[in-house]
């Protein structure tokens, strides 16, 4: 998929969950609150994107603005350049 209109095609980087022993008993369906931000690897970006990036850059994006698009059993993640807060690498 080639992104257009100032969008970036990204791959969210998985956050490692640490399992620590606890004396507090939590419900079985309890999930730790997720950060509103997400690190992601840039796979491609639109030609009119004004953010200075290259493929394989690692950026920080706003999680709630991430668009997951499923086409033919494959999921693509797009985010608008306005929701890129910075580059980690």
**Given this model, what pLDDT does residue 32 score?**
74
16 — pLDDT class (breaks 50, 70, 90): low
Residue 79's DSSP bridge partners are 8
Q: What's the CATH superfamily of 1-13+33-89?
A: GroES chaperonin (2.30.33.40)
Q: Of 29 and 39, which is predicted with more confidence? A: 39
Q: Where are the domains of the chain?
A: 1-13+33-89
Between CA 6 and CA 1 the distance in angstroms is 14
Task: Judge whether residue 15 has pLDDT over 80.
Answer: no
57: number of Cβ within 10 Å: 19
Cα–Cα–Cα angle for 63, 34, 71, nearest 5°? 45
Residue 18 has pLDDT above 60, yes or no: no
């Amino acid at each position: 998929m080639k992104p257009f209109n100032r969008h970036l095609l990204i791959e969210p980087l998985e956050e490692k969950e640490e399992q620590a022993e606890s004396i507090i008993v939590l419900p079985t369906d309890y999930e730790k609150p997720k950060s509103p931000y997400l690190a992601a690897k840039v796979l491609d970006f639109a030609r009119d994107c004004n953010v200075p990036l290259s493929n394989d850059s690692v950026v920080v994006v706003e999680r709630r603005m991430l668009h997951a698009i499923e086409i033919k059993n494959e999921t693509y993640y797009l985010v608008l350049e306005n929701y890129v807060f910075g580059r980690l690498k």
